[in-house]
Amino acid sequence: MYTIIADENIPLVQDAFGIFGKVNTVNGRNLSSADLTGVTTLLVRSVTKINASLLANSSVSFVGTATIGFDHVDLNYLKENNIGFANAPGSNATAAAEYVISALLVIAERQNFCLRDKTVGIIGCGNVGSRVLKKLQALEIQCLVHDPLLENTDYVDLDKVLTADIVTLHVPLKKGGDYPTYHLVNSEFLSKLKNNAILINTSRGVVIDESALSLTLLARPNLTVVLDVWKNEPNINKLLLQQVALATPHIAGYSLDGKIRGTEMLYTKICEHFQQEPSWHPQLPPPPVNRLSFSNTIDDDVAVHIAVMSSYDIRRDSTALSQANANFDKLRKNYPLRREFSQLTIQIPAERSILAKRLQGLGFNLE
């Protein structure tokens, strides 16, 4: 039997990993080396730094992160010390892409424009960016994609993508190498954006130079910014919080589907590592809204807006973070039930083929 320490925000962690031994849950942000006495398996999310100072002299033989990214993990240290590792690539990518769609529809409504009249620039076309691209293409929105790590003749350079009306960031955090992303969004980057551009960041907080962004917003009030990630989480920049159009506490990928998917992926990897036969199959609760029916007279854009907001309305999370006494980590820990678009079934008349294509492209089920 094994002793497991897990971040308390990993869902169903007791159910999934109880077969391996004792499972203790902790606040991942406050985890210390003293908590790891006798521990063989460590399961975290992005708030825990995995490095020598945490793991030295511990008995940990396997580390798993229930997240797409792993910039919080010192992979070299794990390899040098023969410590197994697994992450959950793509687990919350669908939810993060749906977050972007919700944000864009809300901004379009507020500013009274049609998304199809805008061009969207996507920086980073991996797990999340590729899903954003697919959903925007389903809505017939022109996209410009920049990703120097992927070979695609349709991709454009950074200067070109910055000519878009909307720019959304989906890059990993890299401080070195040929294509660093630390402070990718700096004064020069911001100066190249259109005066009334929309900028969305769901990647990592330090991809943006927050001081440069704050100064830019003071000088250019027509720039619209949506932030889900921040430099000093959970102690975020309160001035910047007031300046941006929509602000959320690092929950873009926080659908229950995505989090459970991450738990499942770690469970499978740990079963392989400890040579156990998988036997756990999670049961998810039903979504708050699971069915909609549209008449033959409804406008396509109205139908899309209703469907998206019925599944996920970003304004709820933005309002919660903007409250005077909002606690960043508490909002994450007590995040309300959110299911992905695929859990909503929509009934529309057979002749509404264009609407059907758009809704299916976004990920909804039709009948």
Residues labelled as active-site residues: 204, 233, 250
**How far apart (Å, rounded) are the C-alpha atoms in residues 166 and 223?**
10
Q: Which residues contact 62 (CB under 8 A, 6 or more apart)?
A: 40, 41, 42, 83, 84, 85, 86, 270, 273, 274
CA distances from 205 to 200, 229, 248, 291, 300 (A): 11, 5, 12, 36, 35
Longest dimension (CA), the chain: 67
Count of CB atoms within 10 A of residue 289's CB? Answer: 14
Question: What is the C-alpha to C-alpha distance for residues 251 and 63, in angstroms, rounded to an integer?
Answer: 23
**Closest by alpha carbon to 216, among 194, 236, 201?**
194
Residue 13: C-alpha distances to residues 64, 183, 265 (Å): 12, 35, 12
Closest CA relative to residue 224, chosen from 206, 201, 203: 201
Distance CA 179, CA 173 (A): 10
Q: Is residue 355 helix, strand or coil?
A: helix
| 3-state per-residue secondary structure call for 296-341 | CCCCHHHHHHHHHHHHCCHHHHHHHHHCCCCCHHHHHHCCCCCCCH
User: Which residues pair with residue 227 across a beta bridge?
Assistant: 201, 247
